[in-house]
Chains A and B, each alone.
Chain A
Amino acid sequence: MLQGHLPACGCLTAAILALGSYQPFFNASSQELMRPSLNPEGRQASDIVLLNRWSVRNYQVQRGDVVSLISPKDPQQKIIKRVIALEGDIVKTRGYKNRHVKIPGGHFWIEGDHYGHSFDSNNFGPVSLGLLHARATHIIWPPQRWQKIYPTLPKGHRLLPSANDSSMDEDNE
């Protein structure tokens, strides 16, 4: 009797794993935090984004990616933010206890696009890469907001150029 059920269980788990690679994400509480790129002003309903879990299996992210991660303050909640800096970068912070922070190894710095209303690295500091959950690739709902999300650093970001930048070398010469 069990033999009859096993293939069904197997198919179900296969389907869950396949869908797990791409997941729709809907989070009403973080509506404020990523305006205007997600949930532009005046909308009643929240955007739904598509998350790609497969692309972050090796914890490879670029600066400017919009990612979802587990909140360091509440392990039961996931948050969506933009990656501003990776390990080794120096960030000028807004409202953090130190003015400048060098991101330690295995960590990254995230910020919400809506400065002032965002609960992000300016509150809790650099975040461990192990908390990374997925990368947001597309906005899929509502249909008029269908678009691909590109990795761009927001204007006015406070990432300092690293010592390896060619522009810095030209200044020194």
Chain B
Amino acid sequence: MIKNIISKSLGFIGYTIQYGCIAHCAFEYIGELVVCSGPSMEPTIQNHDVVFSERLSCHLYCIEKGDIVIAKNPSDPKMNICKRVIGLEGDKVCTSSSSDIFKTHTYVPKGHIWLEGDNIKNSTDSRSYGPVPYALIRGRVCFKVWPFHNAGTFGKSPNERVPRNV
């Protein structure tokens, strides 16, 4: 009787470990659901929206300009940020705000990307902490899952900040 219970428990633990490992690999290499908080991506992503971010683009190095990405915060690696990619390495990005008279530009260094939130007036992004190393990117946000009435894929940035390809 005891032997039966022990063997059943071991079997259960074995299955839990196996499925746990598969789930971990799925979250690590395929995608995950993320709850976003903060106003920096309004109106595209509101506070408490749930989005699905996929990891494949990040592992295959095919993140493009205009994509919304989840990345580790460069100032605090335990926190994540959700911003839009405005420039890739080698691109020229505008660092001054739209109210400045004289525009300043900078080039994104090799191995880095330039991130900005859609809510230009209320977003801490590359305009404060500079270009972000590519390796800090965790995933590319592909579609919104919650709330249902707003669910679907994302369009272009509402601002004219993403430079057109020359």
- Residues on A close to B: CB < 8 A? 6-7, 9-11, 13-14, 17, 58-59, 70-76, 104-107, 127-132
Contact = CB atoms under 8 A, between A and B. Distances in A.
22 contacts: A6-B22, A7-B14, A9-B18, A10-B17, A10-B19, A10-B21, A11-B18, A13-B22, A14-B18, A14-B21, A71-B111, A72-B135, A75-B133, A75-B134, A75-B135, A106-B74, A107-B74, A128-B72, A128-B75, A128-B136, A130-B72, A130-B133
A4 B162 CA distance: 50
Contacts, number: 74
A6 B18 contact: yes
A17 B110 CA distance: 31
Interface in B67-84: 72-78
Nearest to A133: B135
Contacts of A131: 133, 135-136
B25 interface: yes
Nearest first, the 4 closest Cβ-Cβ pairs linking A and B are: A10-B18, A130-B77, A13-B21, A130-B72
Q: Is the interface of A mostly helix, strand, loop or mixed?
A: mixed
Given A75-B133, A128-B133, 6 more contacts: A10-B21, A10-B22, A11-B18, A72-B112, A72-B135, A127-B133
B3 to A, nearest CB: 22
A149 to B, nearest CB: 23
B102 interface: no
